[in-house]
């Protein structure tokens, strides 16, 4: 055993030395690989013991989980059909908004059949390859009169309902992208409550109940920045353990007027502080929502041009947006002005592999290293847990070895920047010797979805047959065009 440890230590020292030598010559190696395409299956730039390659970005629109344009599951999640869910996935959507109507239970406990139906709604999303943004509602006004007279439930009933929903939310967190707070007031938007639920004490208790019912690695979203600033005057840090770091904003009148139809204060100075807060918060918690008809506001000044959405999409870290409303004033103008493609590909995260270096040869049962650089060209970070895997595919047999790179967290890849990460990996003992093609995968962080390639993130990189690089749909991974030999 002692001799084996000495041998492993020597191997690690030798590999570290070789990696350091490669880093010194990386720039010239990467340039050579990019300028001189090789026939398929030829090895990219190689220093002794190390393989290095580069990747080209693409501007194609890629449907990836938990981001992008969304549509409604249905007017009520209970009415959503599997056929509708499948069609939405086929149309390129990966996220759906799902209202859950509780109108009939403002004075009663939620029945078992409703909870079972809710679980089945989440199961439909899972079967379709979708993720859901739920909001629980006691009303859905269709007119200004209804809006002013909308009824919600008493505080005690709301808290009891949230407690009943907790097991369902926990069991189905894998397909919950984000949870909109709901419950309070008209449309569950936390205004015009018939039970005074917007009072500080009441809404704080509902906030705490929702955070307690929602698994800790999922985010809640509220409509009004003023409430968030009252709870946490300073913008929280990323995953700092506070309640505030788990709550983002859904702006349901994004860019519709100077106040976004009541989202922000009428007072200009206060409004500026609120907008600054939301912009800063978007690096900590998700921001999404929809545009709207500004007719309810006197003399509105909607911001409808491409310059507006491209500026504010980036400023507020826009992760998702309703694709169906309010198209006349917004989406159709973006299409006419020619920026819709950029808007679609920029929402949320957009990961571009830039360089990869890894050990050229590793003995079965021993460790190697890789260094990966990734640029996030999207407007936001990824907010929910996601894995990174090294896939090794035997060239002769096609057998695949999946190795989790647990030390790499894609949530740390910030928008507008390139992140470089280094990780050690161990080739499982007993792995057959031979040459293996290298692939990289970004599977869902939930064990229930990690094996479903529909939930894997496809990097925004170009196909390059000459360099054996491209998306492998069957494995949900990107072919790096490099080879690792297992000894």
Give the integer Cα–Cα distance in Å for 317 and 302: 19
Does residue 21 register a pLDDT over 70?
A: no
Rounded average pLDDT over 321-331: 97
Q: Which two tokens stand for residue 28?
A: 């010239």
Half-sphere exposure of 431 (CA within 13 A, CB side): 28
Give the integer Cα–Cα distance in Å for 271 and 5: 63
Residue range 152-210, pLDDT digits in tens: 999 999 999 999 999 999 999 999 999 999 999 999 999 999 999 999 999 999 999 99
Domain containing 476 — which CATH number?
Answer: 2.60.40.770
**What is the structure's pLDDT at 16?**
39
CB-based contact 18:49 (threshold 8 Å): yes
pLDDT band for position 148 (cuts 50, 70, 90): confident
Residues 299 and 408 occupy one common structural domain: no
Residues 171 and 292 occupy one common structural domain: yes
Residue range 283-293, pLDDT digits in tens: 999 999 999 99
* Better pLDDT: 280 or 23: 280
Q: Which residue shows structure tokens 């996030």?
A: 376
Domain containing 159 — which CATH number?
Answer: 3.20.20.120
Residues 107 and 231 occupy one common structural domain: yes
The last residue of a domain, from among 313, 346, 379:
346
Does residue 26 register a pLDDT over 60?
A: no
141 CB-near residues (< 8 Å, 6+ apart): 147, 149, 150, 186, 187
Give the integer Cα–Cα distance in Å for 53 and 167: 46
Domain that holds residue 30: 2-60+350-486
pLDDT band for position 147 (cuts 50, 70, 90): confident
Q: In a 3-state reduction of DSSP, which class is residue 480?
A: strand
Provide φ and ψ at 369, rounded to 5°: -135, 150
**What is the structure's pLDDT at 45?**
54
**What is the structure's pLDDT at 3?**
35
Nearest to 357 by CA among 388, 390, 387: 390
**What is the structure's pLDDT at 298?**
87
Give the integer Cα–Cα distance in Å for 37 and 42: 10
Rounded average pLDDT over 228-237: 98
Residues 396 and 470 occupy one common structural domain: yes
């Amino acid at each position: 055993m002692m001799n084996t440890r000495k041998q492993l230590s020597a191997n690690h020292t030798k590999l570290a030395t070789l990696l350091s030598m490669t880093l010194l010559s990386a720039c010239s190696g990467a340039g050579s690989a990019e300028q001189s395409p090789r026939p398929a299956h030829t090895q990219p730039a190689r220093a002794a013991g190390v393989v290095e390659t580069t990747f080209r970005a693409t501007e194609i629109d890629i449907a990836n989980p938990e981001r992008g344009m969304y549509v409604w599951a249905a007017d009520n999640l209970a009415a959503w059909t599997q056929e509708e869910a499948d069609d939405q996935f086929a149309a390129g959507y990966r996220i759906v908004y799902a209202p859950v109507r509780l109108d009939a239970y403002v004075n009663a406990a939620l029945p078992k059949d409703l909870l079972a139906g809710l679980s089945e709604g989440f199961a439909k999303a899972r079967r379709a390859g979708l993720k859901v943004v739920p909001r629980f509602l006691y009303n859905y006004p269709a007119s200004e009169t209804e809006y002013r007279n909308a009824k919600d439930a008493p505080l005690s009933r709301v808290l009891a309902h949230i407690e009943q929903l907790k097991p369902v939310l926990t069991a189905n967190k894998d397909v919950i992208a984000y949870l909109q707070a709901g419950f309070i007031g008209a449309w569950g938007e936390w205004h015009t409550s018939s039970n005074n639920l917007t009072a500080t004490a009441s809404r704080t208790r509902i906030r705490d109940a929702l955070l307690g019912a929602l698994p800790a690695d999922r985010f809640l979203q509220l409509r009004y920045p003023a409430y968030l600033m009252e709870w946490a005057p300073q913008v929280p840090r990323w995953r700092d353990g506070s309640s505030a770091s788990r709550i983002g904003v859904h702006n349901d009148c994004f860019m519709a007027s100077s106040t976004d139809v009541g989202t922000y204060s009428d007072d200009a100075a206060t409004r500026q502080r609120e907008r600054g807060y939301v912009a800063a918060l978007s690096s900590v918690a998700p921001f999404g929502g929809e545009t709207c008809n500004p007719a309810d506001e006197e003399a509105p000044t909607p911001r409808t041009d491409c310059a507006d959405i491209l500026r504010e999409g980036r400023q507020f870290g826009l992760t998702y947006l309703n694709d169906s409303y309010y198209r006349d004033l917004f989406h159709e103008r973006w299409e006419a002005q020619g920026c819709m493609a950029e808007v679609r590909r920029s929402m949320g995260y957009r990961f571009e592999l830039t360089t990869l270096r890894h050990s050229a040869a590793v003995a079965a049962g021993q460790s190697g290293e890789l260094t990966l650089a990734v640029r996030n060209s999207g407007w936001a970070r990824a907010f929910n847990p996601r894995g990174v895997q090294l896939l090794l595919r035997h060239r002769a047999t096609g057998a695949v070895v999946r190795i989790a790179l647990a030390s790499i967290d894609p949530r740390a890849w910030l928008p507008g920047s390139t992140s470089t990460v280094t990780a050690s990996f161990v080739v499982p003992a007993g792995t057959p010797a031979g040459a293996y093609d290298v692939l990289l995968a970004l599977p869902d962080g939930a064990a229930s979805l990690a094996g479903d390639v529909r939930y894997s993130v496809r990097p925004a990189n170009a196909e390059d047959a000459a360099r054996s690089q491209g998306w492998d749909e069957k494995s949900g991974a990107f072919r790096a065009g490099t080879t690792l030999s297992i000894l």
